[in-house]
Amino acid sequence: MVELSPPLLAGVVVALVSLSAFFSSSETAIFSLRVEWITERAATGERRAVLLERLREDPHRLLVTLLVGNNLVNVALSSVVTLFLTDVLPPGAAVTAATLGVTSLVLVFGEIVPKSYGLGKAEEWALAVARPIAVVERVLYPLVALFDAITRGASRRLGGDTDIEEPYLDD
């Protein structure tokens, strides 16, 4: 097993919180844009806008991609911090400290601040993240396809709307 020194742990924490911020800000930026704006930009032939338009064609899959990525990162963050803390604290205290610490970090730096940024810089940020999100969608394709199918099926069986994102896409 790899021992995490405090400097290495700090680097891993910063990297994972940064990825969490990326997914959260991307979700807010992309879903806050009017479809018409994306369509108009894509019509100019700008590659990032064309890619963004393709991503938004299936909002459910896009949301699943962003949530799978964000959850993988956040669970990894919690696991790494808990693993480190179990070496320096009793197990119960380590779990409590990791839960409180990671929750605070993720809420502030992985969710709230990034979502505010994504909302405030929606147009430029959505264009900037289109390509990385498309790459994430390809890399995580097996998980995205699985959770896409599961959530659509569960929504259908429970009598819910399988396209729950639609009301948020049209102004």
Per-residue pLDDT tens over the stretch 119-157: 999 999 999 999 999 999 999 999 999 999 999 999 889
Is the Cβ–Cβ distance between 133 and 55 less than 8 Å? yes
What integer pLDDT is reported at residue 163 of this predicted model? 61
pLDDT digits (tens, 9 = 90+) for 7-29: 999 999 999 999 999 999 999 99
Is the Cβ–Cβ distance between 118 and 25 less than 8 Å? yes
What integer pLDDT is reported at residue 43 of this predicted model? 97
Q: Which of 65-69, 104-108, 133-137, 156-160 has the lowest mean pLDDT?
A: 156-160
Is the Cβ–Cβ distance between 106 and 20 less than 8 Å? yes
Work out the number of other CB atoms within 10 angstroms of the CB of residue 136. Answer: 21
pLDDT digits (tens, 9 = 90+) for 33-61: 999 999 999 999 999 999 999 999 999 99
**Can you say whether the dihedral through the CA atoms of 27, 31, 36, 37 is positive or negative?**
negative
What integer pLDDT is reported at residue 127 of this predicted model? 98
Question: Is residue 167 scored above 60 in pLDDT?
Answer: no
What integer pLDDT is reported at residue 171 of this predicted model? 46
Is the Cβ–Cβ distance between 56 and 30 less than 8 Å? yes
